[in-house]
Amino acid sequence: MRTFPEHFKWGAASSSYQIEGAAQADGKGMSVWDMMCQWPGKIYGGETGDDACEHYYRYREDVAEMKTIGLETYRFSVSWPRVLPDGIGKVNAKGLEFYDRLVDCLLEADIEPWVTLFHWDYPLALYQKGGWLNRDSVDWFGEYASVIGEALGDRVSHWMTLNEPQCFMGNGHLWGSHAPGDKLPMPLALKAMHHALMAHGNGVLALRKHCELKPKIGWAPNCSAAIPVSESAEDVETARKDFFKVSSGTFFNNSLWSDPVYLGRYPEEAAEVFGADWPDFDDGDMTLIAQPLDFIGYNCYSGYLIKASPNGGSESIAAVPGEPVGTLDWLKVMPDSLYWASRMFAERYGPKPIYITENGLCNTDWVSSDGAVHDPQRIDYISSYLQGVKRAVSEGIDVSGYFYWSIFDNFEWAEGYRSRFGLVHVDFGTQKRTLKDSAWWYRNLIQTNGESLDVKEYDVNLLVADPVR
**Residue 164 engages ligand FCB in binding (rule: CB under 6 A):** yes
**Residue 358 engages ligand FCB in binding (rule: CB under 6 A):** yes
Outline where 308-350 has alpha helix (H).
337-349
- Footprint of ligand FCB on 75-94 (CB under 6 A): none
Residue in 20, 65, 112, 164 annotated catalytic: 164
Residue in 47, 54, 112, 358 annotated catalytic: 358
Beta bridge pairs of residue 424: 408, 435
- Footprint of ligand FCB on 2-31 (CB under 6 A): 15, 18
Region of residue 179 (left: phi > 0; alpha: psi -120 to 50; beta: else): beta
Among 163, 202, 255, 291, binds ligand FCB (CB under 6 A): 163
302 vs 314 by CB, closer to ligand FCB: 302
The interface region with ligand FCB, picked from 143-151, 160-168, 333-341, 440-448 by CB under 6 A, is 160-168
The interface region with ligand FCB, picked from 79-87, 162-170, 226-234, 333-341 by CB under 6 A, is 162-170
Grouping H, G, I as helix, E, B as strand and the rest as coil, residue 88 is coil
CB 350 within 8 Å of CB 317: no
Q: How many whole angstroms separate alpha carbon 198 and alpha carbon 208?
A: 16
**Residue 257 engages ligand FCB in binding (rule: CB under 6 A):** no
- 61 catalytically annotated: no
Q: At residue 139, what is the residue type?
A: D
**Residue 224 engages ligand FCB in binding (rule: CB under 6 A):** no
The interface region with ligand FCB, picked from 159-167, 172-180, 238-246, 456-464 by CB under 6 A, is 159-167
Q: How many whole angstroms separate alpha carbon 59 and alpha carbon 98?
A: 9
- 315 catalytically annotated: no
**Residue 359 engages ligand FCB in binding (rule: CB under 6 A):** no
Q: How many whole angstroms separate alpha carbon 405 and alpha carbon 163?
A: 13
164 vs 182 by CB, closer to ligand FCB: 164
We find the least distance from the C-beta atom of residue 211 to ligand FCB, in angstroms, to be 24
Q: Cβ contacts of residue 162 below 8 Å, gap of 6+? A: 116, 117, 118, 168, 196, 199, 200, 203, 219, 220, 221
Among 299, 383, 434, 438, binds ligand FCB (CB under 6 A): 299
Q: Residue with the closest Cβ to ligand FCB?
A: 164
We find the least distance from the C-beta atom of residue 412 to ligand FCB, in angstroms, to be 5
We find the least distance from the C-beta atom of residue 82 to ligand FCB, in angstroms, to be 17
| Beta strands per DSSP E along 154-255 | 158-163, 216-220, 222-228
* Long-range contacts of the stretch 266-275 (C-beta < 8 A, 24+): 269/245, 270/246, 273/246, 273/247, 273/248, 274/186, 274/190, 274/246, 274/248, 275/248
- Footprint of ligand FCB on 387-426 (CB under 6 A): 405, 412-413, 421
Q: How many whole angstroms separate alpha carbon 410 and alpha carbon 143?
A: 29
Beta bridge pairs of residue 118: 162
Grouping H, G, I as helix, E, B as strand and the rest as coil, residue 373 is strand
164 vs 375 by CB, closer to ligand FCB: 164
Query: With contacts defined by CB under 6 A, how many residues of the chain interact with ligand FCB?
Result: 12
Q: Cβ contacts of residue 59 below 8 Å, gap of 6+? A: 98, 101, 102, 105
We find the least distance from the C-beta atom of residue 338 to ligand FCB, in angstroms, to be 15
Q: Which residues of the shown chain bind ligand FCB in the complex (CB under 6 A)?
A: 15, 18, 163-164, 167, 222, 299, 358, 405, 412-413, 421
Residues recognised as catalytic: 164, 358
